[in-house]
Amino acid sequence: MAKRDLISVLDVAEDLRGILDEARNLKSWLRSGRVHEALKSQSLAMIFEKPSTRTRVSFEVGMAQLGGTAINLNPQELQLGRGETLEDTARVLSGYAAAILYRAKRHEAMVRLAQAATVPVINGLDDLEHPCQIISDLFTIREAKGRLRGLKLAYVGDGNNVCNSLLLGCSLVGMDMAAACPPGFEPDAGILRKAEKIAMDQGSQIDLGADPEKAVRGTDVVYTDVWISMGMEGERGEREMAFRAYQVNEELLKSAGKEAVVMHCLPAHRGQEITDDVLDGDRSLVWDQAENRLHVQKALLIRLITGGFSTMEPTGTPI
């Protein structure tokens, strides 16, 4: 069996419905108290070049619930910190673990590690994409709304890795997406072109602009992220000025659909990109969104490591 990596959302385009169905089944199994050891005696090596809460904990807990082990590796405690190449590290870890989770500062490093590894490599975030987050987000939206195709998601804020992966994810499942970003903070141009092409094939629409009110008008989902991503702390003053009009608050939500829900991938800077009353309000899916990382990571691990689905065949639940 050829190894499968998850570097981009596009890497699981053909498996997406199956992964979402698997995650739903795994969530149901867990809540019913059933044990599911699909990865018994398997190990996941995890390298984090940036801090992590949800990604690290969901993968660690997920591997434990599936009967396996996750090993957290600080780059400064590895020989990477003393000059060993990514390629050599990838080859060594491939001999120990069934898969490698990597949170990288640079997308180029993610690609290098994946090319050298002989086991699946999972992108736990880099500066271009955050695929695990967005696959989980799609699961959360489908869980709340009963479907994905034909819905509209509005993203308000920085055109960062989360925005990039949302563009690809929404286009794959036939969702419309509008992104409102300040001039100079738009999503990656190459990602945008790919998303527009996929959306055209799926009969959906991608709209990029600078007006938050226009973006959220009539939308089903309002999504935001931090204004200052990890590694960009030196741009704090410039970014806080540029994003001042891009806060998700009750006033902005007046333009959204009556049944619109709010999402944030966390961590949140309360009072900046989102207000307390919205984050903790009745429309917020943020805490479901965070929990669902666990169920979706488990589905991804099973699919990438075993090559199959463990619980049952997809049931026809609509994308």
| Residues taking part in catalysis | 103, 130, 133, 225, 265, 293
CA distance 188 to 215: 18
Contact 166, 177 (CB under 8 A): yes
Task: Name the DSSP letter for residue 307.
Answer: S
Residues contacting residue 59 through CB under 8 Å, at least 6 positions apart: 44, 46, 70, 101, 124, 297, 301
CA distance 292 to 27: 8
Helices (H), the chain: 16-31, 54-65, 86-94, 107-116, 131-145, 161-172, 189-202, 212-216, 236-242, 250-253, 276-279, 286-306
Residues contacting residue 170 through CB under 8 Å, at least 6 positions apart: 153, 176, 177, 195, 199, 204, 206
